[in-house]
A and B are shown apart, each in its own frame.
Chain A
Amino acid sequence: MTIRIYDHHAFMTYLQFSSVMEPQEKKKIILVKQRLHFAWRSRALQPSTVFCCCRCPCEGTMAHCHTARLLGRFLRLHQNGVRHCSYSASRKNLYINKNTKVICQGFTGKQGTFHSQQALDYGTNLVGGISPGKGGKTHLGLPVFNSVKEAKEQTGASATVIYVPPPFAAAAINEAIDAEMPLVVCITEGIPQQDMVRVKHRLVRQGKTRLVGPNCPGVINPGECKIGIMPGHIHKKGRIGIVSRSGTLTYEAVHQTTQVGLGQSFCVGIGGDPFNGTNFIDCLDVFLKDPHTEGIILIGEIGGNAEEDAAAFLKENNSGPNAKPVVSFIAGLTAPPGRRMGHAGAIIAGGKGGAKEKIAALQSAGVVVSMSPAQLGSTIYKEFEKRKLL
């Protein structure tokens, strides 16, 4: 079998694999320097052609992890999953519940202490925290450990929340990845982008740890487990999954869905940083597979391509008679092109990433886009009425 590799992404993957390939295997790989979409148009791709890790934006059906896995098998590589493939396996770690044992990094700091107490008051199963040098002590009635590894071994925790200041936060995330924590929620805002690029490089090449954030309000399963800084009591256990890039805007959606009686099954704030651990698609995948989530609210904002990617994902995975209703709001519609107001991630550049384009993309995927953030609850309520889900 001849393997043709297109696209610089594929090339990068080839480089990754080539270091462990046998010489005769290398010969079988033909590097084609055509851009993938030109190749598609020129019909250079044959059914027998295997290609890997292409993320050409022109056609969503081109790049597939199964292809990369084929390549991996051919090259007898099993240890490193192909990026994106193994990391998405950690999506399931987002499912927190009342049994999830949570530890807190930065436990004895001001933020750590305040929010840990809030979590305990809410009923989160917080079992301890980390504060290097203060291991052995007690804080808020819980044990303090010197390291994540120690805390995990001694408490059996499966989630950690990070309230460590920016200069040390990336190291804290790395420590949690080293300890193979299934879920890491990093609340810290202000982590240098370069630090997060390095963390993410590691993150996407493994599948045990799922990171949410940084610079996010956290994850909450109302009534069961609250990991983060969101105000617990506006939430109500219910049927809507909420995913958002913004913190305070999320609380709007939460409040409204509580008021219309639908409640929330699960809320994830993915945060506003350009390099973060979890995106819309990760959460949508979880929501679509969760039987308790009957409707979804997605809150986006100007800048980047996250909403467009989410729309493409929904088109493929949430259509037909059993599609779950999705309602969305995109903040920044009235920010003129070229303006940036707010999150580090919210920036419009060269015509892409504008609210109009995002709204159009989402609408074409069957999402009902509300023009006002004050009508999220009423809009999803109407969708439920239409589908006779009430």
Chain B
Amino acid sequence: MAAPLAKQAGAVLRDLALRSARLRGGCPAVQLTSRRWLNLQEYQSKKLMADHGVTVQRFFVADSANDALEAAQRLKAKEIVLKAQILAGGRGKGIFNSGLKGGVHLTKDPKTVEQLAKQMIGYNLSTKQTPKDGVTVKKVMVAEALNISRETYFAILMDRACNGPVMVGSPQGGVDIEEVAVTSPELIFKEEIDIFEGIQDRQALQMAKNLGFKGPLQQQAADQIKKLYNLFLKIDATQVEVNPFGETPEGQVVCFDAKINFDDNAEFRQKEIFAMDDKSENEPIENEAAKYDLKYIGLDGNIACFVNGAGLAMATCDIISLNGGKPANFLDLGGGVKEAQVYQAFKLLTADPKERGGEGALCCCQQVVQGRGWQSIGQESPSASVQATQQSCSQCHQMAFLCG
């Protein structure tokens, strides 16, 4: 039931966990990096948007200081913004281990761009959302800096309540939209789009009006909105969020930044996009798990979970907490689990240094009963004593075990 489902779990878990961590004020219970459904760097998302006619700041990508200089010169912009390309947020306030402060810099001089890039590329940038040691910056984005005279918020998402695509916008952009929703709900505008009829001109225009665009900018904004909607459908996104969807003093409507969430289920028909997936900022144990098609998410406890089925996995973590323990991980074997996977899963769990003891949860798998997994693990980790209580209550024997 949960094969690709739990796969998404890791992605969104990270994406949102950090937001909640910041809200809680304390340090996050887990060392997680901020992640999107699919790991696209900023320049990749912007290129995707640009390819679909959405107006973004002109930019080039560089992976050396020299290239950065060339890019800055080619750009011929009045002012240049240099941005380190890492997946985590909070770049502006981050620090490089080269000593450079800030992952985002503005300058008018291409030479400065080169100097700054020298201190960025190949060094680690630590922000509030990265692990302590930071993340190595391999690429930088050299973009035309544009002034923003007005910031609005615009998003398109697949909404369950409306059973289809919904546009959400607010003339109050740039800040946390959830705050706006609470303090000034009348500033949030929603419009349902019929998936078969597509976005109507009047809908796009009305949204542009609601966002506060006036005069010729209205039509420009409406065009951008239509293009964003087409992008949203074309790439099988579950959400495209543009914040800020801004206005420049020169009279341009520009998408200054975007977050795109992709539907993992659409991977089979979005191969190009999924090929851009950057796994380098994942925890290695997750990449390892993904290799064997196991859905693993590290948590902060010391009781291992090993479960077949996402709902059951969640319930298992609940039960552990209910009894005073702390789950060390969420691990969903999925429906079609094979012996080899079970073995690999065990290896992952026992290799995890956080584990002091492990409690396995229900395992719906004939292969495990057959014991190959048990024996092999028994040999490799003699401290693990495996007790299996077999309850034959289904054709694929359900089994609870303790591994301590």
- Please give, as numbers and ranges, the residues of chain B lying within 8 Å of A304 by CB-CB distance: 160
Let me know if B310 and A272 touch, CB within 8 A: yes
- Please give, as numbers and ranges, the residues of chain B lying within 8 Å of A194 by CB-CB distance: 158, 195, 233, 236, 263, 266
A10 to B4, CA, bound (A): 36
Of B20, B178, B181, B310, the residue contacting A341 (CB under 8 A) is B310
Let me know if A197 and B268 touch, CB within 8 A: no
- Please give, as numbers and ranges, the residues of chain A lying within 8 Å of B1 by CB-CB distance: 189, 215-217, 246-248, 271-272
Q: What is the size, in residues, of chain B's interface with A at 8 Å between Cβ atoms?
A: 68
Interface residues of B in 274-323 (CB under 8 A from A): 297, 307-315, 317-322
Let me know if A248 and B196 touch, CB within 8 A: no
Counting CB contacts under 8 A, is A192 at the interface?
yes
The secondary-structure label for the interface of chain A is loop
- Please give, as numbers and ranges, the residues of chain B lying within 8 Å of A251 by CB-CB distance: 394, 398
A172 to B404, CA, bound (A): 47
Query: Can you add 17 more A-B contacts, CB < 8 Å, to A190-B3, A304-B160?
Result: A8-B191, A12-B192, A193-B158, A194-B233, A200-B164, A201-B195, A215-B1, A231-B395, A252-B312, A275-B160, A331-B314, A342-B5, A342-B313, A343-B2, A345-B160, A371-B318, A373-B319
Counting CB contacts under 8 A, is B48 at the interface?
no
Q: Mark B227-238, 1 if CB is under 8 A from A, else 0.
A: 000000100101
Counting CB contacts under 8 A, is A166 at the interface?
yes
Let me know if A338 and B20 touch, CB within 8 A: yes
Let me know if B163 and A340 touch, CB within 8 A: no
Q: How far is the CB of B291 from chain A (nearest CB, A)?
A: 19
- Please give, as numbers and ranges, the residues of chain B lying within 8 Å of A294 by CB-CB distance: none
Q: Mark A140-184, 1 if CB is under 8 A from B, else 0.
A: 000000000000000000000000001100000000000000000
Could you write out 25 A-B pairs with CB less than 8 Å apart?
Answer: A8-B190, A12-B192, A166-B268, A167-B268, A189-B1, A190-B3, A245-B311, A247-B2, A247-B335, A248-B1, A248-B307, A248-B311, A249-B309, A275-B163, A302-B314, A305-B161, A334-B322, A339-B13, A340-B8, A341-B9, A341-B330, A342-B310, A342-B330, A350-B178, A371-B322
Let me know if A246 and B310 touch, CB within 8 A: yes
Q: How far is the CB of B20 from chain A (nearest CB, A)?
A: 3
- Please give, as numbers and ranges, the residues of chain B lying within 8 Å of A204 by CB-CB distance: 163
- Please give, as numbers and ranges, the residues of chain A lying within 8 Å of B165 by CB-CB distance: 197
Counting CB contacts under 8 A, is A191 at the interface?
yes
Let me know if A335 and B396 touch, CB within 8 A: no
Q: What is the size, in residues, of chain A's interface with B at 8 Å between Cβ atoms?
A: 69
Of A8, A189, A249, A335, the residue contacting B4 (CB under 8 A) is A189
Counting CB contacts under 8 A, is A43 at the interface?
no
CB-nearest residue of chain A relative to B362? A248
Q: How far is the CB of A368 from chain B (nearest CB, A)?
A: 16
CB-nearest residue of chain A relative to B332? A342
A193 to B195, CA, bound (A): 12
- Please give, as numbers and ranges, the residues of chain A lying within 8 Å of B4 by CB-CB distance: 189-190
Q: How far is the CB of A251 from chain B (nearest CB, A)?
A: 7
Q: How far is the CB of B2 from chain A (nearest CB, A)?
A: 6
A8 to B192, CA, bound (A): 8
Counting CB contacts under 8 A, is B19 at the interface?
yes
Counting CB contacts under 8 A, is B269 at the interface?
yes
Let me know if A275 and B158 touch, CB within 8 A: yes
Of B12, B269, B318, the residue contacting A192 (CB under 8 A) is B269
A285 to B164, CA, bound (A): 25
A347 to B21, CA, bound (A): 16
Interface centre among A271, A332, A334, A348 (most CB of B within 10 A): A334
Q: How far is the CB of B12 from chain A (nearest CB, A)?
A: 4
